[in-house]
Amino acid sequence: MSDNFLNIQPSPLALVQSLRDIGYSMESAIADVIDNSITAEAKNINVKFAWNDGDPWLAIIDDGHGMTSAALTNAMRLGSKNPLEERNESDLGRFGLGLKTASFSQCRQLSLVSKKDGILAGREWDLDLIEEDPDSGWRLRVLNDSKMQQDKHIAALLPMIQSRGTIVLLRKLDRYDELEKKLNSLVAHTQTHLELVFHRFLSPRRGKKRINISLNNAPLTAFNPFNPSHPATQELPEQSIHVDGQSVHVQPYVLPHYNKTSRDEYQKYSGTGGYLQNQGFYVYRNRRLIISGTWFRLIKKEELTKLVRVQIDLPNSLDHLWKIDVKKSHASPPEAIRNELKLIIDRIAASGKKVYRQRGKKLANTVKVPGWTRTATEGKITYEINREHPLISQLKSLLPKDKQQEFKDLIFMLESSFPTELFYSDVAKKPEALSKPVFNEEQVSALLDSFINQMINSEVPETEIAARLTSIDPFAAYPEEVEKLLRQKGILHE
């Protein structure tokens, strides 16, 4: 007895509307389309936006190998590829959905025009037609030469492709109506996103081909989140993880401490959300960034590891294990790799923490008589005003005994009201913006006179005065100014 089957076609209207809300942002949608251009071996890719008097459009034009009429039709088919099929190792696609889902998430009309061997062909999806007559099925419009020449937008873009290339034109951007400022803001955000996601194509290492990407004819500049060209960036030893006969390469970096770089450069590499949020793994598939700034919940993000960023390179043959989604904005390592990554984290985290700890040790060794003292007891750290500091002890000795307790109470009040939470927040978000009151030369000079007199009265040899002063707060923070004033006062000689 044979089984009976029914051939049920999905409802075009229902399916397309569902695909529109799969979760693409403007910048992730454009990046997905650019993936197709890179797979087509394009050397130049131009992303163009136009507000067009409230009827906005955007286009991605490349000089890749182009498509024949038949290939163009297949490219517009939903699910044009089997994600389980073996692909070229440089292929950035997987599901055969990216072009359509990315485009539909932003527009209602998708035109695809391509030229191969000098022959032009075009296809077009228009969701309004599907909505008007949902029972007519999947009606893909064929664009012949005459229709393309009569379409003012397509006709204006055609000169950008010569003997070969492809135009992806998105129109009826219904989610940006009457919001020109919002669209302009998204364009700027798209630039930042593309410069990060494709930085290894925009500025490739030796042996890899460069791809030029421009936004409204303005060339994009690669943004490498690891800042490898800075002399203070630590490039730790590369490690490999082997799974299913494939290799996953792991390259850790520790970015420079903010005192080792300029304020502008430090701010540039902090990224959206700051260093604290952008620490972690940066997963690349065929040099294309998939996900950034995550530890995959293997450890917590903390202040001492915020300068640690780890580049992970994986081949597209491991997509199924890493659960890379259609949008190419999510990945999750399999359990075997998670275990290896945890071991790697444990080794590299110490390097990131050392950057801060060495800085603290350096300061502690330089300042012998600090204004504040740090005490660690039973896992808790407290900062107290140094009661042995010469200024504090001298002032206390000048006070009558009945006022000395009030002086102690004042110091305790200042210590107990230290804004710990606010200070931690500022350090975590923008440490380079923190500053402290700056002494002018007159104030430093007056303080120096007081200390010099005290040291002379204590019979400190004149040859030792300069060395002692530069190890006491606040003079330790102004070595050049102190040296200049000591020469003027005749304490320090050439």
Tell me if residue 365 falls in helix, strand or coil. helix
- Whether the model pTM is above 0.75: no
**Cβ atoms of residues 486 and 466 within 8 Å:** yes
d(CA 308, CA 293) in angstroms, rounded, equals 10
- pLDDT, position 224: 97
Residue 471 confidence (pLDDT): 77
Segment holding 16, helix H or strand E: helix 12-20
State which residues of the chain have pLDDT below 50.
Answer: 82-85, 87, 90-91, 93-95, 360-365
Residues whose CB is less than 8 angstroms from the CB of residue 87 and which lie 6 or more positions away in sequence, other chains included: 81, 93, 94, 316
Question: DSSP assignment, residue 242?
Answer: E
Q: Residue 122 corresponds to which amino acid? A: G
**Which residue type does 378 have?**
E
Residues forming beta bridges with residue 309, ordered by sequence position? 253, 280
Q: Output the DSSP codes for 178-229.
A: T-HHHHHHHHHHHHHHHHHHTHHHHSPPTTS---EEEETTEEP----TT-TT
Alpha-carbon distances of 102 from 31, 108, 322, rounded to whole Å: 9, 11, 21
Q: What is the CATH number of domain 12-219?
A: 3.30.565.10
Q: What is the CATH number of domain 234-361?
A: 3.30.230
Residue with tokens 């042996």: 207
According to DSSP, residue 173 is labeled: -
